[in-house]
Copies of this chain bind each other. A is one copy, B any other.
Amino acid sequence: MQQYRLSDLVSGLDVTLKGDSDCLISGVAPIQCAQPGSITFLTNALYRKHLATTEASAIILTPDEAEKCAGNAVISRDPYYVYAKVAAFFSEVPMHSSGIHPTAVIDATAEVDQSASIGPHCTIGKRVKIAAGVVLGPNCAIGDDVHIGESTHLDANVVLYYKTNVGQRTHIASGTVIGGDGFGFANKSGVWHKVPQLGAVEIGHDVDIGANTTIDRGAVENTIIEDGVKLDNLIQIGHNVRIGAHTIIAGCTGVAGSTVIGRHCMIGGAAMIAGHLTIADQVMITGGAGITKSIPEPGVYSTGLGGVVTNLEFRKNNARFHRLDNFMQRVKALEAAVKQLTERQES
């Protein structure tokens, strides 16, 4: 088991060490079950109660929390970021040897850098360009005219349709499909006719896309995912959508066609965002929200219903909801009656 000196793990990071900076660390652990030899972190107030009792050999935390910490502490304004850097020492992601697996089928017109790693059973189309350090897992299907930038990784069973453009250092998890046709059909006399989807998909640098997510190609112009965007699993991005740089979106979220989302937004899981909207920069949307209007200002926005109640209670409230307008009319009538009663009484 590889061990590191605490000071070596945080070397070069903007932190203050408290306690024994030479203590040996052999792994990371959650605060509530950390054993001696491990380093942990505290960023979520839910777990603060474990600070006094954790057996971790070191804790990464904020200056405020550090006061209550008796053990070895790594103090930072960005404890989760520091943790990310420390955890990287203990990562055991399998390495990929470069080269093209003999079972891969690569069109003669494709250009694959010799440092790239192309997994078994991949199919690579015409005029594809694959840059240095790219890794494709098994069974990836790369359509014609796709470009994949330096050091980008696609895990197993990823599909990039024709003309998709992916930047550098981007990561796409398994089962994700990028560049399928947008959902465009024109109705004539009750029958739906396909509207050709002439745009493509552009994915920036340092983007991370989870598993089984789908991003559709544009109807006319491209669907665009800007640099540094982070998308979780099972997300649907409709045609012509643009997602601004450094925006992060949690799983099971859908963004309907032609919506433009700003930079540095945070969108919770299972949010559903209607089409043709504009969301400003730095907007936070809470999980499960159903956004049907544009949001022109930064801030935290919500809809939907959260919480937890018994089904019995819920069914009563749900039934009431469907009479809410009628109910409001009754309150208005009461207000008028009380006003009249009051006036009469006072007269």
Interface set of A (CB-CB < 8 Å, partner B): 28-30, 33, 44, 46, 78, 80-81, 83-85, 87-88, 90-94, 101, 103, 105, 119-121, 123, 125-126, 137-139, 141, 143-144, 155-157, 159, 161-162, 171, 173-177, 180-181, 183-188, 190-196, 198, 208, 210-214, 216, 220-221, 228, 230, 232-234, 236, 238, 240, 246, 248, 250-252, 254, 256, 264, 269-270, 272, 274, 276, 284, 286-295, 299-325, 327-328, 330-331, 334-335, 337-338, 341-342, 344-345
Contacts and interface: CB of A to CB of B under 8 A. Distances in A.
Given A156-B141, A274-B287, A302-B314, A192 B248 contact: yes
Contacts of A304: 290, 304-305
A193 B345 contact: no
A87 B344 contact: no
Given A33-B221, A190-B264, A307-B319, 14 more contacts: A83-B186, A139-B141, A183-B233, A185-B248, A212-B214, A214-B234, A234-B254, A287-B290, A290-B306, A303-B309, A305-B318, A307-B318, A317-B322, A334-B334
Given A120-B123, A186-B84, A246 B191 contact: yes
A185 to B, nearest CB: 5
This protein's copies in its complex:
3
Contact of A311 (B233, B252, B302): B302
B322 A198 contact: no
A184 B210 CA distance: 11
B195 A80 contact: yes
Contacts of A272: 252, 269-270, 287-288
A138 B138 contact: no
Contacts of A208: 185, 192, 194
Nearest to A46: B276
A230 B192 contact: yes
14 contacts: A83-B195, A84-B194, A84-B195, A93-B162, A139-B157, A190-B246, A190-B264, A233-B236, A274-B306, A287-B292, A290-B304, A294-B308, A302-B314, A306-B318
Contacts of A105: 101, 103, 120-121, 138
A141 to B, nearest CB: 3
A207 B185 CA distance: 12
Contacts of A246: 190-192
A144 B274 CA distance: 40
B159 A159 contact: no
Given A84-B193, A192-B246, A220-B30, A251 B183 contact: yes
A307 B293 contact: yes
A146 B176 CA distance: 21
A246 B232 CA distance: 27
B301 A311 contact: yes
A118 to B, nearest CB: 12
